[in-house]
Each structure stands twice: as structure tokens, then as C-alpha cells.
Structure 1
Amino acid sequence: MHRDFQAVPVIDISGLSSADPQARRAAAARIGQAAREVGFLQVTGHGLPEALFDGLLAAAKAVFAEPMERKMAWYIGRSANHTGYVPEGEEVFASGKIDRKEAYDVSLDRPGGEASAPMLGANLWPDLPGFKPAVQAYYAAVAALARRMFAGFALALDLPEDHFEPHLRHPPSQLRLIHYPFDPDAQPDEEGIGAHTDYEFFTILRPTAPGLEVMNGEGRWIDAPPVPGALVINIGDMLEAWTNGEFVATSHRVRKVAEERYSFPFFATCDYETVVAPHPRFVGAERPARYPSIVSGEHLFAQTARTFAYLKARRARGELVVADEAPAFGQAARQPARP
């Protein structure tokens, strides 16, 4: 469980790129401590050039500035692999809450063939000059960072450094470009996105403004303001399940802020067909498995189908079948009552 931390730690992860195994292990040890005690960390020394982020931000501003009629031509419901424009109100969570935001979602771009799974295939790209190359460049860089983080997490767990590599051939990791419009009526203590944990293995986030809050072991919300040049990384449900709770998926939320805000989460996951279950290293007579065995992609898509309006409509028409109930992972398993 979480300690009663008062801040999200800031960690230099440049050692993960070192040719010296001891430097990689030292960086991994710091990462592992944060993953066990907080479930969140802000990382410097990640190696992503600022110019790539500048290009991504410019692409986001361009697409969201388009008229609604144009944006709806790229509506996510028109895609074959859950990519494209997400209008306000498309996502409705179990609480029935609608967040005031719009998004553009992209995934691993696999053109030239039919999707082999619901979230794999060719992205739906807008016909905006410069958008696709800017987003692809950032996606490639952050996906490479995710592979380094998978290796770092493996070392932190005292597993072989390449432990996750067999499951990273074509992961449907999603990059979201999210726009929160200017809201002059926002109240300082009002939620923008409600308390939740992320479905995937971990998230790599770059926001443009404050608002992120993380719950500590006392049940108090701790502010996690952006650190210049840093990326926020948090543990997701799948990595908590893989480690049988050794790493923790911490509940977090976004507080509403009056200023216009952009947020760019990259949800790092393993291959669609990866079976996620507690690793034998973390299971024993005094530590039974706390999580069921599931197929990573199937679980992710089922969760998505419960949230997006166009997928709910397909379910209602009998075109799509997913399990009625999702297994409880992360903080939902430990603390079912929403704070």
C-alpha cells in the first residue's frame, strides 16, 4: 500500500540509457522505490527532445481549432481501430459524468492490412498539413521511452532486463491529444476528471498546466504540478496485477483550472494477446494471487467499450459483445468506494 507521501518524487532516469549495467540498475532502483511507495513519479533525463513536444502541441492546437463539422469527419466512430476525433460527451464513465474536453486518439499505426484485433490497424488521420508527421514523431519517441521504462521496471523487480520484450512486438499503446477549453467559471476544488486508475501497464504524461492530483495513503489529494521538461509516469492496473501488488496503481484525478489546458497521455501496454496474471515470483503461500488471469487487449477493449458512446451503440445493436462485468484491478480492488 502507499505511504503517506506528500509529493510525487522527481527522478533522473538518464541511467537507463547507460551502457553501464550498474548505472541502469541504480536508476531502476529509484524507479522501483517510487513505483512501490507512490505509484507516480516525474522523470527527467528521459531524452525526448523539446522540439518533438512543441510539434505535438502545435498539431493539437491545429486540429482542435478546426470547425466541428470538419472534426466530425475524423470522428473516432468512423475508424476500424478506435482512433480519431473524440467530441465532448462521447466518453461517459460509470458515474455518468461527462468531462468538458475533446480529444484526438492515435495508436500503433499498422496500415496495409485489416486490423488483427479491435485496437490494431491503420490510424484515422486528419487531412491537416503537418499533423501526421508531428504526431508520428512524438509517438515513436515516447514508445521508445516506454520500452526503456519496461526494462527499468523489470530490473526494479529483480527480473531479467528483457523480461517484457517478448510482449512488445506490436502493442496497441494509445497516445491521446486532449484539449480542455478555457473555463472562467472553474472552481478551484471542482473535479475535471474524476478519481480513477489507468487500465494499461503505465502512463507517460506531458501536461501543459497544473491540475493533476494523486491520492496518498491517508486518502488526501496531493498536488502534482508540472516540473519543467519532466514527464509524469504512473503505474497502471495491468502492472499492478502482473506484480501481484508489488507496484501500485494509485488513484488520481484532474482538478478543473480556468486556463486552457492540453494533456498528452501515452498509455503504454503490451501486445493485445498478452496474458496478464500475477508473476510466480510474487505469489506464495503467504501471498496468494490477488488478481484473475486476463488477456490484456481484451480487457482494455472491454473497458473502452463501456465508456465510448459509439461502442455502446454497437453493443446495443448486438454488433459487439463484451463481458458485462470487468474484474477489479488497481485501487478499485482495494477501495471500491469512490473517494
Structure 2
Amino acid sequence: MSIPVVDFSACSLTVEDISRAELSHLSRDIRTAFTEVGFVFLDNTGITQAEVDGVMDASRRFFLQPDHLKRPLRRKTFPNCPNHGWVALETERLNPQKPGDLKEAFNMSSLHPDIKWPSPEIVAGFQESQTTFFQRCKELSLRILKVMAHSLDLDPDVFLSAHRLIGTDENGTTLRSLYYPPVNRELAKEGQLRCGEHSDYGSITLLFQSSEGLQVRQRSGEFICAPCVPGSVLVNIADLMQRWTSDRFVSVLHRVLLPPAGDSSTRQSMAFFVQPDDEAVITCIDGSNKYPPVQGGTYLTERFNNSYGQA
């Protein structure tokens, strides 16, 4: 089964009011995508391709700087927000059973004024583009969560009330700039990928990608290639949302393979990982005990420990 494409114009960031009929139609399409596939392309969200291109351009200029200029901004150097910052090549293993991923990242996890950024002299416009795009993704995510609640006949506040602190140090939601440098397959370690097979951790993820390379696992166990659709946002269910909905919405494995032999191209993407507030307690919405209650922050820390070899 391919990844469905859904027109989100009824709830676009440019829209203030939505009719009941439009919401019902959109909710039905979202429910089908997230119960059967776990991924969906959303068209006409209000976030333009020009916005995406701008933030990716600034990110690319950051990643092309020498490591000694990026190292002072590395992840875990900010006590109030340890996930914020640069992640070097092969530091992270999204599949803990495999070698480190062949990618770099910059995580923006806080809007706190004391958080450090590359100086404008090094990367002009980097902080401004990241913070602006973070806010746009936050607004879109809240609209998606509202439609998701409606699709399950729930009060919209069921999900929204657990995401009130996005952008603060009490919520782990992260805008992640990802850069996949050229790869020499002959030098890669056995089993090494650009991004190891994994499922995401929190509620939902918004993904903007510059080229193909992402693969998504179907229920049959086979992986399919996710196309690159300019102007669209690829949205997927993450693990806490699957627990929250007692498996009605499905979180599925995905990965980024190495490029073919002789392909020296780079790859970029921007991922907005939506997490519940650290203190939010996630329990099954159907009242069952299929999954035990867990705090959003505790669960996220456990998953980070696995990815960074600290378990």
C-alpha cells in the first residue's frame, strides 16, 4: 500500500474557521491513513515550499562549516535543554544494533533566550530561520492533533492539553535539521545506514525532505520508498501516540539507506518531532490497561539513552 495524499486546505494555517462537513471529511481521510499506513502526505498546509527551501539553505550552510566551529554547539552542552545542539556524524544509532548513522543533525529543542546559536558571522540567518520555522510547525502540529482527536470522536483537548508547553524546557518537541553527506559505500561499516531502522518516539512527526531516500515498512514487512513531494508535508504516527490510542493509530519503522554505488549526492531533511509535555501522563484513551501510564519526559529520556548508547 502506498502512502496516501490528503488535502489539508480545510485546516490550513491560512484558514480561521472550518465547517463541520469539511472537518468530518478530513478526519475520515486522516483516520484511514493513520490506522492503515501510519504515514500521510498533507497538501496545502499553509507552509510553503519557499519556507522549507529557506530554512534548508541556512541549515546546509551550517553543516558545511568545519567541525571545530560546530563542536561548541554540540548536543548535551546546554544543561536546561540537553537535546539542543549539534550531533556529529556516527554519534547517533537509531537502530542500536547497527553502527552509528551516517548523518549530522542540529536539534532545536528550546526557545529559551539563553540557548546558544551559531553566530551570524558564521551562518547568517540560521537562528532566525530555525525559530520561525519551529513556530510554523508548532501551529500546524496543533491543527493536525485536533483533527486526529476528532477522527476518533474525542474532545480535541485530549491531545492538545498535553502539548501546551511546546517550545519551553518542559517539553521535548524538537525541530531537527538533518544532513546526509556523500557516502563511499566501500568505507561504510557492515550494516551501516544513513539512518537506521526505527520508529519515532513521541506523538507525531512532520517531515520535509529535499530528495528521496526514506523507506517506510508496510504491514507486510516490506519497505516502500517514500517519494519526495514538493510542497507537501509527510506526517507519521510516533510510538507514544500508538500507546495513547491503544494501537488504533500505528507507528511504523522507517529508515534511510545508503545511496547507490557511485552516487555522491547529499540529502537534507527537516523533521519536527512533536512530544507531549514532560509531565504529561500518557494513558490509553479507551480506558484499557493495554499499555501502562508513562510520563512524556521519562519515556523520551529512555529512548534517547538507547539511541546514544547510554542504556
Length-normalised TM-score, structure 1: 0.80
Q: 1:269 aligned to 262, 272, 275, which one?
A: 275
Match of 2:207 in 1: 205
Residue 18 of structure 2 aligns to a residue whose secondary structure is coil
Q: 2:142 aligned to 133, 147, 158, which one?
A: 147
Match of 2:285 in 1: 279
Counterpart residue type for residue 297 of structure 2 = G
Tell me how far apart the structure 1 counterparts of residues 92 and 234 of structure 2 sit (CA, whole Å).
Answer: 23
CA contact (8 A) 1:52 1:137 kept: no
1:8 pairs with 2:3: yes
**Runs of at least 4 residues off by over 3 Å:** 184-187
Question: Deviation of residue 90 (structure 1)?
Answer: 1.8
CA contact (8 A) 2:90 2:99 kept: no
Tell me how far apart the structure 1 counterparts of residues 110 and 135 of structure 2 sit (CA, whole Å).
Answer: 9
1:97 pairs with 2:99: yes
Match of 1:174 in 2: 174
Tell me how far apart the structure 2 counterparts of residues 254 and 245 of structure 1 sit (CA, whole Å).
Answer: 25
* Aligned counterparts, 1:87-236, within 5 A: 87-92=88-93, 93-111=95-113, 122-128=114-120, 129-171=124-166, 172-183=172-183, 185=185, 191-236=193-238
Tell me how far apart the structure 2 counterparts of residues 107 and 123 of structure 1 sit (CA, whole Å).
Answer: 10
Counterpart residue type for residue 144 of structure 2 = M
Tell me how far apart the structure 2 counterparts of residues 146 and 293 of structure 1 sit (CA, whole Å).
Answer: 23
CA contact (8 A) 2:98 2:192 kept: no
Identity rate, percent: 28
Residue 152 of structure 1 aligns to a residue whose secondary structure is helix
Tell me how far apart the structure 2 counterparts of residues 110 and 151 of structure 1 sit (CA, whole Å).
Answer: 26
Question: Deviation of residue 107 (structure 1)?
Answer: 1.2
Structure 1 segments unaligned to the other structure (5+ residues) = 112-121, 284-288, 313-323, 325-339
Tell me how far apart the structure 2 counterparts of residues 270 and 191 of structure 1 sit (CA, whole Å).
Answer: 29
CA contact (8 A) 2:206 2:234 kept: yes
Q: How many residues align?
A: 289
Tell me how far apart the structure 2 counterparts of residues 35 and 166 of structure 1 sit (CA, whole Å).
Answer: 21
Match of 2:169 in 1: none
Match of 2:302 in 1: 302
Question: Deviation of residue 50 (structure 1)?
Answer: 2.4
For the structure 1 residues 217 and 180, does the alpha-carbon distance in structure 2 shift closer, same or farther, using more than 3 Å as the test? same
Tell me how far apart the structure 2 counterparts of residues 307 and 212 of structure 1 sit (CA, whole Å).
Answer: 19
Question: Deviation of residue 109 (structure 1)?
Answer: 1.1
Residue 89 of structure 1 aligns to a residue whose secondary structure is coil
CA contact (8 A) 1:174 1:268 kept: yes
Tell me how far apart the structure 1 counterparts of residues 41 and 197 of structure 2 sit (CA, whole Å).
Answer: 19
Match of 2:87 in 1: 86
For the structure 1 residues 190 and 95, does the alpha-carbon distance in structure 2 shift closer, same or farther, using more than 3 Å as the test? closer
CA contact (8 A) 1:84 1:123 kept: no
For the structure 1 residues 190 and 68, does the alpha-carbon distance in structure 2 shift closer, same or farther, using more than 3 Å as the test? closer
Tell me how far apart the structure 2 counterparts of residues 192 and 73 of structure 1 sit (CA, whole Å).
Answer: 24
Tell me how far apart the structure 2 counterparts of residues 96 and 248 of structure 1 sit (CA, whole Å).
Answer: 24
